[in-house]
Amino acid sequence: MPRLVILRHAKSAWPEGVPDYRRPLADRGRIEAPAVGRWLAEHVPDIDLALVSPATRTRQTWDLVSAELPAVPEVRFEEQLYGEGAEAILDLLGSLAEVKTVLVIGHNPDLELLVGSLTGEHPVLKTSTLSVVKCARGFRSGELVMTEKIRP
């Protein structure tokens, strides 16, 4: 049964004059992201593929998370994860074959809408919050297993 791990990026900074796409992680985000990686290493060590938004803060989150994993999975930076909506993410997930566990690192509101679309439940995904979804039929529907804000 496929498993989807959905992660909202770690806390970002709001530097003046920096466009949203280029916003970096804040100091708190640089502390929280490795904690997410350690949580994943303990609870979901078998990630096959990471799909990451190409925005600066999601790339930085991935770098810090992946440094804590026992094995770094294949990573793909996908534009559909930056503000194109939950349907675009579902289309991206629907194109995957032979993948058992996928980590998606992206942004709200798309990630909250994605979880709602897959499970009918609507958790609040603050920064550095994970949702784990067991998917019954590919990555089109599933059961929400947990949602947790990861703290160091």
Quote the tokens at residue 90.
């579902």
Examine residue 19 and say whether the peptide bond preceding it is cis (omega within 30 degrees of 0): no
Q: How confident is the model over 1-51, as pLDDT tens digits?
A: 689 999 999 999 999 999 999 999 999 999 999 999 999 999 999 999 999
Which value, to the nearest 10 degrees, does the dihedral of the CA atoms of residues 15, 21, 24, 26 take? 70
Asked if 108 contacts 84 with a C-beta cutoff of 8 angstroms, the reply is no
Q: Count of residues for the chain?
A: 152
Distance CA 132, CA 79 (A): 22
CA 9 from centre of chain? 7
The pLDDT of residue 1 is: 67
Helix axes 110-119, 86-94, angle to 10 degrees: 60
The pLDDT of residue 140 is: 79
Q: How confident is the model over 39-97, as pLDDT tens digits?
A: 999 999 999 999 999 999 999 999 999 999 999 999 999 999 999 999 999 999 988 87
